[in-house]
Amino acid sequence: MYRHFGEVEAAERSPLYERVAVALSESDEALRAIEAAPARKRHPALILAALHDLALAGRAPALAAAYAAADGDAAAAAAIDTLLRMTDSVVATAAHRQTRTNETGRCAVLYPAIAEAARRVGAHAVGLIDVGCSAGLNLNVDRVGITYSNGQSLGDPSSPVQMTSSTVGDRPVPTRALPEVVARVGIDLDPVDVTDADHARWLRACLWPDASGHPEQAARLDAEMALSATVPPLLLRGDAVEVLPEAFARVPADALPVVTTTWALSRFPLERRLRFLHRLDEAAAGRTVAWVSAEGVGVAPAIPTLGDRRASGHSIIGLAVFGQSALRAEAVGRCWSQGRLLAWLADS
């Protein structure tokens, strides 16, 4: 597993992690140390993030120096040494954490779809509910600036957080502005509070030290966390199916609740996904509810697949509106690489 991670998954994105993962795979002592973690917590990305966390915390200075110098051989040696000396710390971190990916491209997908949901129901205010929110960074979708490759832009051009997305296809992304966001609620089994130093460091640790040769990723994450800290979202801990009613209760009655899922439902078995859909339908008994999704083909129940094949390498952007009498569900676009590439399909 570690050799495959290094030679296949990390090879193009991170020379450092390629070298470290392969070195771990060749060390019997390192592998025995990793086996001290629960079986489901031995994945390379998680163990490497736990080691990175120690480096960022100042507890593994040799590893931190090797990462800063982008020295693969030194990083491999320091990673093995740190793992063997601090096995308990690495295992403890891996046991109670999970890897976090807060890809900023998600906002490029979410913004136009949420704005379209509001337009369709005539909403002048929305309350955002993000399922599988991690740190809730997606809940700042209206507070970031987004530029598309065709020259279109959305959001706040003066925001400290700026992101880009490439577009394909004939239809432009609608440039309608989001209405006022009056509630920001995140749901996660283990939400991350960016105002907590340990939590914020863990988000940084989940970034690969030299991923794709883009050091600006760390700076962008810091900017996102600083922006979120100025208006902290309400983070609810628990299973989304059970917690959704509480989340809906936090959205004012005169605002449209918009539930968002971005590559979150794939972690649910089919039965849970259907119960999630039922929760949305239940909430619509008393008010109109919208659901914006970016999920793999066939993952989001009720969202059309456009005839696309499962595991096709792209995702479907779905928009569903639950009214008191009917469900209207549509595929409004396709996206690739978690929003870095977007094809808008819907009439607006």
Q: Are 319 and 144 in contact (CB under 8 A)?
A: no
Q: Are 17 and 75 in contact (CB under 8 A)?
A: no
Q: Are 115 and 175 in contact (CB under 8 A)?
A: no
pLDDT of residue 102: 60
Inform me whether the pLDDT recorded for 215 exceeds 80: no
pLDDT of residue 348: 66
CA distance 273 to 293: 12
Beta-carbon contacts of 160 under 8 Å, excluding residues fewer than 6 positions away, are 223, 226, 227
How confident is the model over 184-205, as pLDDT tens digits?
999 999 898 999 999 999 999 9
Q: What sign does the dihedral 92-94-96-102 (CA atoms) show? A: positive
How confident is the model over 74-110, as pLDDT tens digits?
999 999 999 999 999 999 999 999 887 665 569 999 9
pLDDT of residue 213: 47
Span 299-309, mean pLDDT? Answer: 94
What would the DSSP string read from start to end of 15-75? HHHHHHHHHHHT-HHHHHHHTTS-GGG--HHHHHHHHHHHHHTTS-HHHHHHHHHT-HHHH
Inform me whether the pLDDT recorded for 334 exceeds 70: yes
Instruction: Classify 338 in phi/psi space as left (phi over 0), alpha (psi -120 to 50) or beta.
Output: left
In this structure, the number of other CB atoms found within 10 A of the CB of residue 243 comes to: 19
Q: Are 251 and 183 in contact (CB under 8 A)?
A: yes
Inform me whether the pLDDT recorded for 211 exceeds 90: no
pLDDT of residue 15: 92
Q: Which amino acid is at 223?
A: A
pLDDT of residue 214: 56
How confident is the model over 139-189, as pLDDT tens digits?
999 999 999 999 999 999 999 999 999 999 989 999 999 999 999 999 999
Span 305-318, mean pLDDT? Answer: 91
How confident is the model over 51-81, as pLDDT tens digits?
999 999 999 999 999 999 999 999 999 999 9
CA distance 12 to 26: 20
The partner residues of 74 in beta bridges, in order of sequence, read none
Strands (E), 168-244: 180-188, 234-237
Query: Where does the pLDDT of residue 337 fall: very low under 50, low under 70, confident under 90, or very high at 90 and above?
Result: confident
pLDDT of residue 212: 45
Q: Are 46 and 94 in contact (CB under 8 A)?
A: yes
How confident is the model over 257-266, as pLDDT tens digits?
999 999 999 9
Inform me whether the pLDDT recorded for 21 exceeds 80: yes
Q: Which two tokens stand for residue 39?
A: 């079986």
In this structure, the number of other CB atoms found within 10 A of the CB of residue 39 comes to: 7
Inform me whether the pLDDT recorded for 112 exceeds 90: yes
DSSP-derived letter for residue 232 is: P
pLDDT of residue 133: 86
CA distance 49 to 127: 33
pLDDT of residue 339: 87
Three-state secondary-structure class, residue 200: helix
Inform me whether the pLDDT recorded for 217 exceeds 90: no
CA distance 257 to 284: 10
Sheet bearing 180-188, strands edge to edge: 153-155, 145-148, 162-167, 341-344, 327-336, 315-322, 289-296, 256-262, 125-131, 180-188, 234-237
Mean of all residue pLDDT scores within the chain: 93
